[in-house]
Amino acid sequence: MNRRDPLLARGGRHTVEAIRGARVAISARPRHVVLASIIAGLLIGPVWAPGVLLAALAALALGGRASVALVAAAAVMGGAAFADARLAALSLSPARGLVGEAVNAKAVLLEPARERSTGMRAARVRLLNGRAARAVVVARVDPGSPWPREAQVGDVLAIEGRLVPLARYEAYQRRRGAPVALEVQAASATATRRSGLAGALDSTRRRAERALATGVPPSEAAMLRGMVLGQDEGIEEPVREEFRRSGLAHLLAASGQNVMLLVILAVAAATAVGAGLRARLAIALLLVVLYVPLAGGGPSIQRAGVMGAAGLVAALAGRPASRWYAVGLAAALTLALDPRVAGEPGWQLSFAAVLALLLFAPPLRSALTRRRWPQPLADATAITAAATAGTAPLMALHFETVSLASLPANLLVAPAVAPVMWLGMLAGTVGQISMNASAPFSGIAAYPVAYVEWVAHIAAGYRSASVEVHVANVVVVALAYAGMGATALAARAAARRTARLSVGVRRRASAVGLLGAALLAAVVIERAGPPPRSRNELVVSFLEVGQGDATLLQHRDTAVLVDTGPPGGPILQRLREAGVRRLDALVLTHAQADHEGMAAAVLQAHPTRLVINGGAGRDTSTQRSLTQLLARTRARTLVPAAGQLVTVGAVRIHILWPPEVARGAPPEEGDPNLRAMVAHVSLGDFDLLLPADAESEVTAALELPR
């Protein structure tokens, strides 16, 4: 007897009905289908050719009417072909075939020079003459090389150097149009600036920057430039780290939020003078077009401009379907301009946040208002929670951290963000006419800025403000988003069923749900932090810092860090996770980047009493930077030599290698591993050997403790 299971039969019917319903919904919006097909082609074409065919077949199957399905399939193929052609055009650069050649040319500075953890500065420049004329390159400047420190964006510099391939950690610069680097040997100002529209925008930006700093303390002025113009190079690394841990880092980068607040201010002003709807829209869009280059014109702010304009159109459209279409247009436009942006975490996070806002914020806001939350609090909570949840999987994939402090921290700063933006924008506008007249606006803005910085500092100070989350690959991220979508659908179905229950039952169910969520959060927070330890035992942590070494020794209130890992590594985050606020000693075993690469950043972020510098005397960028930094600190310095005994708290560090260098000896050369510091660490009856990268012939000859 071949009777089918009735449950399976019902499940099959529901699946078929769901597919039919989806096809009906899709066929009702042919514009959305075609736009989604174009986006699919732009996304898939550059990375997976067979996927283009699969996407085209999917468009044929789901497109509804035959005409729509055929157009959608053609849109997939057309989007893929356009992406390939655009990538080929973007990859053209006169500097590509000149690697290894010397350069002596004029160049325009395209962005502020940023100092890396090694002390090296880097910035993109456009060469103006020579064989590589018009090429954009990454100018690298060692600490000892001359560089005009007062150089600003738009200044023309005279540069000498050599073209070299990009380093592995600079690969993202290819997506920014710089396929090679320029090792700068000499650079000087020419007292000239670029002209034309770009030059006029440079002058406007400079006056806006001065206006934001008028009558404001330096730290608040740097924060104002970051929050209003997205220029965070003046913000100290420890402050940036606090904003990252607290989930407020997005405030320091120009984003769609900046653009939307500008639009709100512009529309309000235009309404006050009696402008009509079309005039208000035109004024707002014009200001967005001007704001993007004023804020530096980088990829982030370009994306913010497109997203902000799309959000404006969507808000005026009013209908949810129009909002989704506006977001799709923004995605298609940014991908058409440069298909490589799809690989940038910033692009992915921007669209994930916007899609999460469209999908999750409205039902969450409705649920909160039904529970009689004040409307402003319900709005802020719904928006923050939706954006946080929507970006969490990507944050875990790209940065291996998720901020648990993000929701409360963003709620606390929400009342201050709009005043900062509006006052800062007014200061920058008035400053084009009079700096003195701009001072009241920037001066008042400094108070909410200080409050935002205080919230970031307090939130980042908690042990589990940011937790480490390792995501294996994009498949896990896709599953996470699929789970979020399924949860949203289940919650919507549950809400419909719950609406039929009595008020008392609904309240009890809500209480049970909140209690369960609180217990789950407590378990996550407890498991996320470092393991508990006795104050009397020495805890040795071999920190995960990528390609390199970093070892943390903790006993009671004593903390000793041995090596810092490579440049750009996560050592600052690892120290925060371990609860380290200051260091009793920083030990650098030898002068190699994977051991000393973050030394300067560690010293800037953590007060340090003693620096044992095994790389002293070596001519590396880190050592040159350390020399300058240590001259400005109170830290004692020690060059390690065999026979020395260093006591840090109750921890004893007995240095076994290298031998002492004779006074007046020439600087060290050759393999730094041959003089890598070998140390014996002891506490009570506990012994630990730290050999660093010392070669076997070195360690074999040492008299090691037994």
The pLDDT tens digits for 147-198 are: 887 888 889 999 999 999 987 777 778 888 889 999 998 899 998 999 888 8
Last residue of a domain, one of 498, 518, 550: 498
DSSP string, 252-320: GS--HHHHHHHHHHHHHHHHHTT--HHHHHHHHHHHHHHHHHHTT--HHHHHHHHHHHHHHHHHHH-SH
Task: Answer with the residue of higher pLDDT: 671 or 457.
Answer: 457
On whether both 267 and 159 belong to a single domain, the answer is no
On whether both 32 and 143 belong to a single domain, the answer is no
Task: Answer with the residue of higher pLDDT: 9 or 452.
Answer: 452
Residue 10 maps to a domain: no
User: CA of 548: how far to CAs of 566, 567, 604, in Å?
Assistant: 6, 10, 20
Per-residue model confidence as pLDDT tens digits over 29-43: 778 888 888 888 888
Say if CB 232 and CB 202 are below 8 A apart. Answer: no
Residue 11 maps to a domain: no
Residue 7 maps to a domain: no
On whether both 40 and 189 belong to a single domain, the answer is no
Residue 2 maps to a domain: no
Which three-class secondary structure state does DSSP give residue 657? strand
Report the mean per-residue pLDDT for the chain: 80
Per-residue model confidence as pLDDT tens digits over 349-377: 888 888 888 888 888 888 888 888 888 88
Per-residue model confidence as pLDDT tens digits over 202-226: 888 889 989 999 989 888 899 999 8
Task: Answer with the residue of higher pLDDT: 282 or 138.
Answer: 138
Query: What pLDDT was estimated at residue 407?
Result: 87
Residue 118 maps to a domain: yes
Last residue of a domain, one of 90, 107, 134: 90
Last residue of a domain, one of 194, 226, 250: 194
Q: Which positions ≥6 away from 340 have C-beta within 8 Å?
A: 46, 87, 90, 174, 175
On whether both 298 and 326 belong to a single domain, the answer is yes
What residue numbers bound the domain in which 438 lies? 204-339+402-467
Query: What pLDDT was estimated at residue 211?
Result: 93
On whether both 510 and 494 belong to a single domain, the answer is no
On whether both 692 and 600 belong to a single domain, the answer is yes
On whether both 105 and 136 belong to a single domain, the answer is yes
Query: What pLDDT was estimated at residue 510?
Result: 47
Q: For residue 163, count other CB atoms closer than 10 A to its CB.
A: 22
On whether both 189 and 294 belong to a single domain, the answer is no
Query: What pLDDT was estimated at residue 514?
Result: 44
Residue 457 maps to a domain: yes
How many Å apart are CA 497 and CA 552, to the nearest integer?
54
**Residue 621's CATH number:** 3.60.15.10
Of all residues in the chain, the percent with pLDDT exceeding 90 is 16
On whether both 248 and 391 belong to a single domain, the answer is no
* Bridge partners of residue 408, in order along the sequence: none
On whether both 551 and 658 belong to a single domain, the answer is yes
Query: Which tokens sit at 203?
Result: 């002058």
Crossing angle, helix 435-460 and helix 406-430, to 10 degrees?
170
On whether both 456 and 561 belong to a single domain, the answer is no
Task: Answer with the residue of higher pLDDT: 427 or 324.
Answer: 427
Of the pLDDT bands very low, low, confident and very high (cuts 50, 70, 90), residue 242 is: confident
**Residue 181's CATH number:** 2.40.50.140
On whether both 437 and 550 belong to a single domain, the answer is no
Query: What pLDDT was estimated at residue 546?
Result: 73
The domain tally of the chain equals: 6
Residue 476 maps to a domain: yes
Residue 455 maps to a domain: yes
Query: What pLDDT was estimated at residue 559?
Result: 92
